[in-house]
Amino acid sequence: MFLSLLQPVRMTARCVRSISSFRADDLHITLTDKPKPKPSYDNLPFGGNTSDHMFEVDYTPAMGWSRPVIRPVEPLQIHPAAKVLHYASELFEGMKCYRCVDGKIRMFRPMENLERMERSAVRAGLPPYDRFEFLKVIKKLINIDQEWVPYSDRCSMYIRPTFIATEPSLGVTQSTDAKLFVIAGPTGPYFKTSMKAIRLLADPQYVRAWPGGCGAFKMGSNYAPTVAIQAYAQREHNCQSVLWLFGDDHQMTEAGTMNFFVFWTNEAGEQELVTPPLDAGLILPGVTRKSVLELTRQWNEFKVTEEVIPMGKFIKALNEGRVKEVFGSGTASIVCPVGQILYQGQELHITDTDDIGELTQRICHDINEIHYYLKPHPWMESIDIDGDESLRTVTAN
């Protein structure tokens, strides 16, 4: 849909990038002299703990990219007129690394995230850089903070690359200046004890994304509009999250910040795993979504389809006893079973809280095996850095 806009920009980006990126070789590293105590793995809230260090690099048109630095986590200095604080010119990624059974630390499909981040940056009007150099500095950050990667086969380290517009000027235009940074922190299992199915509010009067908007990009602007609705769903309807609907036929699009899957017997009597398609620009192209599709297609045991799921079609299947499982997918939870949906006063009952579907469990199990390298897999990428000698310049604080 955005090809006419994005194609020329991306081509420009590609030409410029080779000469204008920051380089991992230029990293300046300052280590903390006050390492923080590591939190207990038992009760790690999502995104509440940052490790000791962060990555940071700035862009201005006059100077290009500044020297990239890894330094202790400290507040950023942001001008009060910076565009990120007014016009939401910001985007991010969420990725994880794991302490694998062989003792090595590996990242899960990092290039998938960094390619998506590049698409987000073009859509947000932020400047290009070389994603391979970026991956190197992220690996270096993980190396430095490797003791923050939990010694646990239930936990991981969450990594948050973030890109913000820093030009201190209130014009609603593309920002001349930008800051790229990365923070990281240990994160617990999404499900503290065992998996529990969640309850979703599906209210068609709230819409997350639309054709011609930015729903397919991981821009901050997709999230702010959702938090009050999410809080309302919890407060008024005892729903842990929101099922975002779209269109007159109330298509099921995403669940909270997760992609959305239905496993059912379709109208032709076939077993089918179905998730909404990416083509209308309504759906975030999730890395876990893609992995679930690839994994289940490899199994070759049932049909795997990307197709619109209107609420009416879903309810019909539910009433006919054809819906087996419903789950969300995302980096935080991997998969998250859906037990009930509250839709226009109707209670749609899919499963009981503790009765987790076989497919949901199997996908979770198989992806976990990959994450912790119980089963070596090309999706896992070592954090060793090629030619790292030049990245070893470490300065005490």
CB of 41 to a second copy, least distance (A): 18
φ, ψ of residue 377 to 5 degrees: the values are -150, 140
Q: Which is nearer to a second copy, 124 or 323 (CB)?
A: 124
24: Cβ contacts below 8 Å, ≥ 6 apart: 68, 133, 136, 137, 140, 385, 391
Specify which residues 184 forms β-bridges with.
159
Q: Which is nearer to a second copy, 60 or 265 (CB)?
A: 60
CB of 233 to a second copy, least distance (A): 10
Q: Which is nearer to a second copy, 80 or 103 (CB)?
A: 80
Q: Which is nearer to a second copy, 31 or 88 (CB)?
A: 88
Q: Which is nearer to a second copy, 76 or 318 (CB)?
A: 76
CB of 20 to a second copy, least distance (A): 18
CB atoms within 10 A of CB 10: 17
Report strand pairing: 334-343 vs 323-330: antiparallel
DSSP 2: -
DSSP 219: B
Q: Which is nearer to a second copy, 46 or 151 (CB)?
A: 46
Alpha-carbon distance 307 to 272, whole Å?
11
Q: Which is nearer to a second copy, 222 or 351 (CB)?
A: 222
> Among 360, 268, 366, which residue's Cα sits nearest to residue 313?
268
Longest dimension (CA), the chain: 66
DSSP 389: G
Cα torsion through 378, 15, 5, 287, rounded to 10: 10
CA distances from 141 to 62, 134, 264 (A): 28, 11, 43
CB of 308 to a second copy, least distance (A): 17
